[in-house]
Amino acid sequence: MKYLLPVWLLLFLYTGGNAQSHSDRPNIIWITCEDISPYLGCYGDSTVQTPHIDQLAHEGVRYANAFTTAGVCAPSRAAIITGMHQQSVGAHHMRTRLELPGMKFSDLPEAVRNSLSKAFPPGLPFYSVVLPLGVLPYPEYLRRAGYYATNNEKTDYQFETPVTTWDELGPAASYRNRPAGKPFFAVFNLMVTHESQLARKEPLEVSPDSVSVPPYYPDTRTVRNDIARVLTNIRIMDRQVGEIVRQLKADGVYENSYIFFYSDHGGPLPWQKRAVLDRGTHIPLIIRKPGGRDGGTVDQQLVSSVDFAPTVLSLAGIPIPSQMQGQALLGRQRASKPRTYVFAAADRMDEHYDRVRSMRDKRYLYIRNFRPALPRYMDIAYRISNIPMMREILQLRDSGKLGPYTAAWFEAPKPAEELYDAEKDPHQLHNLAADPAYATKLRDMRAAYDAWEKKTGDLGAIPEQDMVSSWWHGKLEPPKTEDPLIVQTADGVRVSCKTPGATIGYRIMRQADSVPVVKRPVFSYDGAFVSGRARPGAMMDVPVPWAIYKGESVRLRKGEKIVVRAQRIGYTHAESAFIQP
């Protein structure tokens, strides 16, 4: 039987018993989108109208040189959530686990399982990345400091998200549900610009005749239609941003919050997504400060998406963990010097392996290909099935009708090193690595990359199966977190777990078999379908958040049950329960 918790217990669960005043902690909001390069009006693209994002830029700081650590979703998101480069923590392969939010892979229909399995190398087990000891998702630091953290709704971090990460996660997650006076961190993830949405059938809002076709594509009607679809989806996404901004204003939190807008990586089209060229990693980034301070300014410094987590912690007044490889852009812990370089990586993409690294300064892009015998192109079934122009490019390739810039994608071997002048050659078409005039620049970039790799570590040279086997101690399944121990004391119960690095969350229930729930509305963006599990505007039964256990004594009333979950990230979680006699 489901029931609502009493107010006092809800407040305790939400705050973890933390009585600290948070009036000096700013609210922080992330509006994230997927798979777009800076195709926005505020970045100078006149083909697509994005008035809501442009207004954010008018009131905020627009970063002209922001880059992600990968040109594809999951590795990039792993770096964002940890503040560490994905190849440093073993999250560099795309992807490691085939599960949907709230659903295990084994629960999917057999036909769906078979289809998804084709995008995974034969013999490689699905796995959750075992993060190094001490590495945690940054929202847990926020929650421990008293923030209410919500995610609506995507994760895709390459590991099972511990229950200690978010107060709320799902299509109904909202800062609106926080206790009064509590600062919040809220993520809204807009999915309409994702690569998969190139197959949408709605009428185009941008004319194919008006688009600019990059020189690395053939100029055909199919290519123009796909580019127009990308820009149409961006227009839809811009309206969704407007919906969120209207809600923030109506709720009175727009003016007193830091608002970030960014994409998880660059464009969704072939030879954009998954590439470590600028077109795969260059993203829009806008930060609106409370009150619109510094509105309309442009920041030219190099920014990496690995900097986002330390920036949030700095704004919240939380010490940045020493293992984080990013640096804060804002706040009291802002880095004293801007970056000289940003770095990106590409490894396995679905069922195909490669290993590519890139490093960029303000002007030049250096690429190292560790497997030069392979072409740059990967025959990825997911891309072929979703993008009409990909199928057409393959047909033109097979008939020998591709132009030289597109044909270069399929050439093998590829050069071991590449060097591009991104200022003179924004599409990165002309490799300067063999040009004697650039020998000094090539040598400097090569040395800087070697020093960075030595400093940060790179697990990319280890065969993936061997890496997983080392995490699993040579067994065929992941290690299990030790069952949490619950000990009754004079002033309540205390909890512990013997597994090093395990975090512990708990819930309190009045009945032995019920999870406490509250009803929440599903948030919709411009009427868009945002979840396969509920309609926009519908009411959902949402489990009350897990509280983070911090070593305190937890008081229980007679007959109440505490359920405790412990998990080392990458291990299977474990639960224990205790009923107060």
Closest CA to 253 of 169, 181, 168: 181
Rounded distance between C-alpha atoms, residue 211 and residue 225, angstroms: 9
Closest CA to 196 of 229, 219, 239, 225: 229
Query: pLDDT 10s digit of each residue in the chain, 581 long?
Result: 333 333 333 333 333 333 333 447 999 999 999 999 999 999 999 999 999 999 999 999 999 999 999 999 999 999 999 999 999 999 999 999 865 555 566 666 676 666 667 778 888 989 999 999 999 999 999 999 999 999 998 999 999 999 999 999 988 899 999 999 999 999 999 999 999 999 988 899 999 999 999 999 999 999 999 999 999 999 999 999 999 999 999 999 999 999 999 999 999 999 999 999 999 999 999 999 999 999 999 999 999 999 999 999 999 999 999 999 999 999 999 999 999 999 999 999 999 999 999 999 999 999 999 999 999 999 998 899 889 999 999 999 999 999 999 999 999 999 999 999 999 999 999 999 999 999 999 999 999 999 999 999 999 999 999 999 999 999 999 999 999 999 999 999 999 999 999 999 999 998 767 788 888 888 765 444 333 344 556 788 888 899 999 999 999 999 999 999 999 999 999 999 999 99
SS3 state at 362: coil
Helix (H) or strand (E) holding 501: none
Rounded CA-CA distance 214/365 in Å is: 18
Handedness of CA 526, 528, 533, 536 (dihedral sign): positive
Element (H, E) at 184: strand 184-189
Among residues 475, 542, 468, 461, the alpha carbon closest in space to that of 159 is found at 468
What is the separation of C-alpha 506 from the centre of its chain, rounded to a whole number of angstroms? 26
Dist CA 346 CA 458 (whole Å): 12
- Domains located in the chain, CATH noted: 21-87+137-331 (3.40.720.10), 485-579 (no CATH)
> What is the rounded distance in angstroms from the CA atom of residue 136 to the CA atom of residue 351?
28
Q: Is 13:169 a contact under the CB 8 Å cutoff?
A: no
Provide the edge-to-edge strand list for the sheet that holds 417-421.
342-346, 356-360, 364-369, 417-421
**Residues designated as active site:** 73
Instruction: Kindly write down the DSSP assignment for every residue of 514-578, as one continuous string.
Output: ---EEEEEPP-STT----TTS-TT-EEEEEPPPEEP-SPPBP--TT-EEEEEEE-BTBBPEEEEE
Structure tokens at 501: 């690095």
Residue among 379, 463, 428 nearest 92 (CA): 463
Residues 354 and 373: their CA atoms lie apart, in Å, by 10
C-alpha span between 353 and 374 (Å, rounded) = 9
CA separation for the pair 193, 485 (Å, rounded): 45
pTM for this prediction: 0.92
Strands across the sheet containing 297-304: 168-169, 148-152, 184-189, 27-33, 257-263, 282-288, 61-67, 297-304
Classify strands 503-509 and 561-567 as parallel, antiparallel or unpaired. antiparallel
DSSP state of 239: H
Q: Retrieve residue 183's tokens.
A: 């600062």
Burial 72-103 (b: 16+ CB within 10 A, else e): bbbbbbbbbbbbbbbbbbbbbbbbbbebebee
Element containing residue 259 per DSSP (H, E): strand 257-263
Q: Could you give the CA distance from residue 34 to residue 234 in angstroms, rounded to a whole number?
A: 10
> Greatest CA span in the chain, whole angstroms?
81
User: How far, in Å, CA of 146 to CA of 381, rounded?
Assistant: 45
